Structure 1
Amino acid sequence: MEETISLKEIAETLKKNIWIIVASLLVCASVAFGYLQLFVTPQYEAVSQVLITQNAQDQNSAVQNSEIQANIQMVNTYSVVIKSPRILQSAAKEINPNLGVETLASKVSVDSVQNSQVINIHVVDAQPEGAIEAAKIVTKSFLKETPGMMKVSNVELLANPTTATKISPNTKIGLLAGLLGGLVLGIGIAFARRIFDERFKKEEEIVARLQIPVIGTVGNITATENVMSSNSIRRRKKK
């Protein structure tokens, strides 16, 4: 026979096992924090900026606007060029002779400010100084190789990175995930204890599971009633 559980019973189950839930929260949060601090290598990101400039300064306004729009469209092309082997190969050799192009490519990402001629070059490294230096070298390689590759001279450095930002591990998200996992685990343990508890809690359970009628019940004896009963027995013995 299937057993149903009411909202009241759910609340009672959670209340009775609140210490398990709290302990589970603390343990899982501690494990998550310890894992992030001891086993996850920090990653730092440095960002340099490149500007796609306008070549024809003496043209009329309509032509200038047309060229600006064309430069904006070229941003996507430049974003691919930055991560090309031709750019990264020379950069990898300057950063570290043993650094492979594929390894450097995995550390580099490119995006652009919407509807602008600015390209952001992101480089990630385990050391903040390494991220800054790699971003500068990749940007320098791009500025050096692009004129010959694209037959243009409308790319210039806008800003080199001076600091690197720690992007991982995200301790707040890790702790939040640990707390959420602890909450789910604690609630799971609480309901598992209830499901595997074979004690009878209601008269209806006795009738349903044992298929026998309930003849009578014995109520709970409180401490006051127990004391009164003991005093009554002593008085009878004195008589």
Structure 2
Amino acid sequence: MEETITLKEIMEVLRKNIWIMVATMLLFATVAFGYLQYFVSPKYEAVSQVLITQNAQNQNSAVQNSEIQANIQMVNTYSVVIKSPRILKSAAAEFSQDMSVESLANKVSVDSVQNSQVINIHAVDSQPENAVKIAKIVTQSFLKETPGMMKVSNVELLADASTAQKVSPNMKIGVLAGMFGGLVIGIVIAFVRRMFDDRFKKEEEIVVRLGVPVIGTIGNITASEENGEGQTLKRRRMKK
């Protein structure tokens, strides 16, 4: 027999099991917070900025605009150059400890502001001072190697990395994700309880599931009625 459930019954299931959903939300949020706090290493990011400049000042506005557009197009090329083995190998040699090119590449990322001549060089590390150091060294290596590599001198430092900001783990998002996961689990538990609950909840279920008619019902006896009947029986016994 296929059993259907109405929207009203769904809301009733959720209402009756609200305490389970609240408990699972709090449990999963606590677990997420503890995991992020004690088992996930924090990551810090430092950012340097490089500006693609014009090679020469030209009074012709059309030529200037054309050169600016060309420089914007070159930003993508420079972004690839920054993470090239030549730049990273030169930067890795500046570290006193062993730093491979592959390890350095995993710590560095590059992006640019849309339609601008600014390149952002990001460095991420578990130690804030190391993130700042990596960003500085990679930027200086790029500024040093680019003129000889590209045969141009239109790159200059716009802003050097000085501080590092914590970028992960994001505690707020992690806890919210834990709460959402707990809510989903709580809803699943609520409907599993409803699925395995074989008690009859309506007269129609008796007719459908057992195939017998309902000839009468017994109402619930409240506590006050039960106490009243008890007192009546007690008085009758005392009279006897």
What amino acid maps onto 2:182 in structure 1? G
Write out per-residue CA displacement over residues 49-68 of structure 1, whole angstroms, 9 at most, x where no aligned residue. Answer: 11111121255333333222
User: 2:230 maps to which residue?
Assistant: 230
User: 2:160 maps to which residue?
Assistant: 160
Given that residues 49 and 160 in structure 1 are in contact (C-alpha distance below 8 angstroms), is that contact kept between their aligned partners in structure 2?
yes
User: 2:177 maps to which residue?
Assistant: 177
Take 1:65 and 1:197, find their aligned partners in 2: how far apart are those partners? 75
Following TM superposition, by how much is the alpha carbon of 1:226 offset from its aligned partner in structure 2, in angstroms?
Answer: 1.2
Write out per-residue CA displacement over residues 89-122 of structure 1, whole angstroms, 9 at most, x where no aligned residue. Answer: 1111213542221221121111112222111111
Take 1:104 and 1:29, find their aligned partners in 2: how far apart are those partners? 35
1:94 partner SS: coil
Take 2:64 and 2:8, find their aligned partners in 1: how far apart are those partners? 73
> Higher mean Cα deviation, 129-138 or 59-68?
59-68
1:15 maps to 2:15: yes
User: 1:142 maps to which residue?
Assistant: 142
Take 1:59 and 1:150, find their aligned partners in 2: how far apart are those partners? 25
Take 2:6 and 2:175, find their aligned partners in 1: how far apart are those partners? 32
User: 1:46 maps to which residue?
Assistant: 46
Following TM superposition, by how much is the alpha carbon of 1:19 offset from its aligned partner in structure 2, in angstroms?
Answer: 1.2
> Higher mean Cα deviation, 123-132 or 58-67?
58-67
**Which structure 1 residue ranges, 5 or more long, are not aligned?**
none
Q: How does 1:104-143 map to 2 (within 5 A)?
A: 104-143=104-143
Take 1:59 and 1:223, find their aligned partners in 2: how far apart are those partners? 97
Take 2:219 and 2:71, find their aligned partners in 1: how far apart are those partners? 87
Take 2:139 and 2:166, find their aligned partners in 1: how far apart are those partners? 20
Compute the TM-score of the two structures, normalised by the length of structure 2: 0.94
Given that residues 56 and 64 in structure 1 are in contact (C-alpha distance below 8 angstroms), is that contact kept between their aligned partners in structure 2?
no
RMSD, matched Cα:
1.5
Take 1:60 and 1:220, find their aligned partners in 2: how far apart are those partners? 95
Given that residues 25 and 181 in structure 1 are in contact (C-alpha distance below 8 angstroms), is that contact kept between their aligned partners in structure 2?
yes
Provide the aligned length of Structure 1 versus Structure 2: 239
User: 1:67 maps to which residue?
Assistant: 67
> Higher mean Cα deviation, 134-143 or 93-102?
93-102
Q: Give runs of ≥4 in structure 1 deviating > 4 Å.
A: none
Given that residues 108 and 123 in structure 1 are in contact (C-alpha distance below 8 angstroms), is that contact kept between their aligned partners in structure 2?
yes
User: 1:86 maps to which residue?
Assistant: 86
Take 2:154 and 2:6, find their aligned partners in 1: how far apart are those partners? 71
Take 1:55 and 1:8, find their aligned partners in 2: how far apart are those partners? 72
Distance 1:204 1:61, change over 3 A: closer
> Higher mean Cα deviation, 221-230 or 183-192?
221-230
Following TM superposition, by how much is the alpha carbon of 1:167 offset from its aligned partner in structure 2, in angstroms?
Answer: 1.0
Take 2:58 and 2:167, find their aligned partners in 1: how far apart are those partners? 44
Following TM superposition, by how much is the alpha carbon of 1:228 offset from its aligned partner in structure 2, in angstroms?
Answer: 2.0
Identity of aligned residues (%): 75
Given that residues 54 and 154 in structure 1 are in contact (C-alpha distance below 8 angstroms), is that contact kept between their aligned partners in structure 2?
yes
**Which structure 2 residue ranges, 5 or more long, are not aligned?**
none
What amino acid maps onto 1:113 in structure 2? V
Take 1:225 and 1:108, find their aligned partners in 2: how far apart are those partners? 77
Distance 1:58 1:203, change over 3 A: closer
Following TM superposition, by how much is the alpha carbon of 1:156 offset from its aligned partner in structure 2, in angstroms?
Answer: 1.0
Write out per-residue CA displacement over residues 2-53 of structure 1, whole angstroms, 9 at most, x where no aligned residue. Answer: 1122222222222221111111010000011111111211111111011111
Take 1:11 and 1:65, find their aligned partners in 2: how far apart are those partners? 63
